[in-house]
Amino acid sequence: MSPRAVDLVIVGASFAGLICARTAALRGLKTVVIEAKEEPGARIHTTGILVKEAADEVDTPPQFSRAIHGVRLYSPSLRHIDLSSRDYYFLTTDTAGLIRWFADEARRAGADIICGQKVEQATRVEGGVSLPQFNLETRYLVGADGTRSTVAKLFNLGRNERFLTGLEIEYHDLPKADPDLLHCFLDTKLAHGYLAWVAPAPGFFQVGLATNDRVKPDLKAFLAHTENVFGYSAATVKERRSGLIPCGGPVSPFAAPNVLLIGDAAGHVSPLTGGGIRLAFRYGRRAGQLIADHLTRHGPPPGQVLSKEMPGFGKKLLLRKVMDIGPPNWLYDMIIGTAPMSWFARQVYFHRRSETPVKPASEPEP
Ligand SMILES: Cc1cc2nc3c(=O)[nH]c(=O)nc-3n(C[C@H](O)[C@H](O)[C@H](O)COP(=O)(O)OP(=O)(O)OC[C@H]3O[C@@H](n4cnc5c(N)ncnc54)[C@H](O)[C@@H]3O)c2cc1C
């Protein structure tokens, strides 16, 4: 049987791949998405918090999210400050539900989604790429296949080399947690190179931490440390997950003729915050537009355009180095609640939008 000919194959049905698929299909491309898992949204590996810029980038239905306007930032001894902003928010999400919704949107736009089989082979043929496992030939191939991209490997593109490792537990309820705040914990011993968090999501709570490669993440130790504040031992576990977060900046090269990487596969993740969904939305959608222009209207090669639009992450890569060294815990305890620390935290969390005065650091609750 001769192979099915399509315009675009996207490997990976998550944030980047599904937005790209929806955009490309709406612009008239015959689009196929291939997902290794049994369905989009299965066994997700992310906390799934959308920063406001992500929510501005792509419209999503309100039932999958919850707006959080404030952050409670804790030092290692659990002293804390509250930061808030009237005009800025985070959306915590029912991530699995949201991804399923994106998949429905991509299908409605005309994309075909094949689930349950991993792409393992792809070779160049005249005019595009062949995927013999699926009897498909495509004019263009996109790797939206995450941190350890198979597409990057098959086409000799750049690969992520530096990672944070995240662990997370979802609880049905945590009655002791303030549900209007995102709780973040600075602690170089427990979360070396990153943070720990307690996030109120729509209908459940997420508790997690991430560390760099110097320290193995130990979520049990964090739960023991904050048990008195949140009372996990009386709560029921809903799910557990783990995952790698690329933190070395964009990979290079991220494109070759007729092949492009987006999302985590391209290293489109803030090296400082580990947030990748906003960039998956932005460059996923942009890739869909550029590939459609390229294939239907003689537009320039998408990789060429994207290389001029992509962030450099210069400052954030520098701050990643500071976080990797890990400021000592006594220093966090000393500076929590000081004006420079609060200023810095506002830059990171609200991107300078906070006008609300910061409350002074308070002692841990008994
Ligand atoms: C613990 C943790 C917490 C995080 N929290 C946040 C957060 O709160 N906010 C935020 O912005 N970012 C967060 N991130 C980062 C964020 O999850 C990613 O940046 C985002 O998921 C990237 O989306 P993506 O579509 O590029 O890739 P992914 O979401 O990784 O999806 C890749 C998809 O490709 C599929 N796939 C892989 N290989 C193949 C193959 N060979 N064939 C077919 N399919 C394949 C996978 O099954 C998967 O569905 C977190 C990451 C982790 C690990």
Q: What is the pLDDT of residues 38-71, one digit of tens each?
A: 999 999 999 999 999 999 999 999 999 999 999 9
Calculate mean pLDDT across residues 160-180: 95
pLDDT tens readout for residues 262-281: 999 999 999 999 999 999 99
Total Cβ atoms within 10 A of residue 92? 24
15 pLDDT exceeds 60? yes
Instruction: For ligand 1, atom 52, name the residue with the nearest CA.
Output: 46
Instruction: For ligand 1, atom 1, name the residue with the nearest CA.
Output: 166
Q: Is the distance from the beta carbon of residue 276 to the nearest atom of ligand 1 less than 6 Å?
A: yes
For the chain, domains (ranges, CATH) are 4-47+94-161+248-316 (3.50.50.60), 51-92+164-246+326-350 (3.30.9.10)
Calculate mean pLDDT across residues 291-316: 93
As given in the structure block, the two tokens for residue 166 are 């995240």
Q: Is the distance from the beta carbon of residue 17 to the nearest atom of ligand 1 less than 6 Å?
A: yes
Calculate mean pLDDT across residues 8-27: 98
Containing H/E element for 142? strand 136-143
Please report, rounded to a whole number, the percentage of residues in the chain having pLDDT higher than 90: 87
Calculate mean pLDDT across residues 349-360: 56
Instruction: For ligand 1, atom 12, name the residue with the nearest CA.
Output: 275
The rounded Å distance from CA 144 to ligand 1 centre is 9
Strand 90-93 and strand 50-51: pairing?
Answer: antiparallel
Q: What is the mean pLDDT of the chain?
A: 93
Under a CB-based contact definition with an 8 Å cutoff, are residues 17 and 151 in contact? no
354 pLDDT exceeds 80? no
Containing H/E element for 81? strand 80-84
The rounded Å distance from CA 350 to ligand 1 centre is 23
Burial classification of residue 191, based on how many CB atoms lie within 10 Å of its CB (0-12 exposed, 13-18 middle, 19 or more buried): buried
φ, ψ at 68 (rounded to 5°)? -120, 125
355 — pLDDT class (breaks 50, 70, 90):
very low
Helix (H, G, I), strand (E, B) or coil at 118: coil
As given in the structure block, the two tokens for residue 24 are 């490309």
Containing H/E element for 254? none
366 — pLDDT class (breaks 50, 70, 90):
very low
Calculate mean pLDDT across residues 157-183: 96
Query: What is the value of pTM for the model shown?
Result: 0.94
111 pLDDT exceeds 90? yes
Residue 58 CA to residue 41 CA, distance in Å, equals 18
Q: Which atom of ligand 1 is nearest to the CA of 18?
A: 25
Residue 363's pLDDT is what? 55
Instruction: For ligand 1, atom 5, name the residue with the nearest CA.
Output: 47
Instruction: For ligand 1, atom 38, name the residue with the nearest CA.
Output: 145
Question: By mean pLDDT, which of 22-31, 107-116, 266-275 is the weakest?
Answer: 266-275
Q: Is the distance from the beta carbon of residue 170 to the nearest atom of ligand 1 less than 6 Å?
A: no
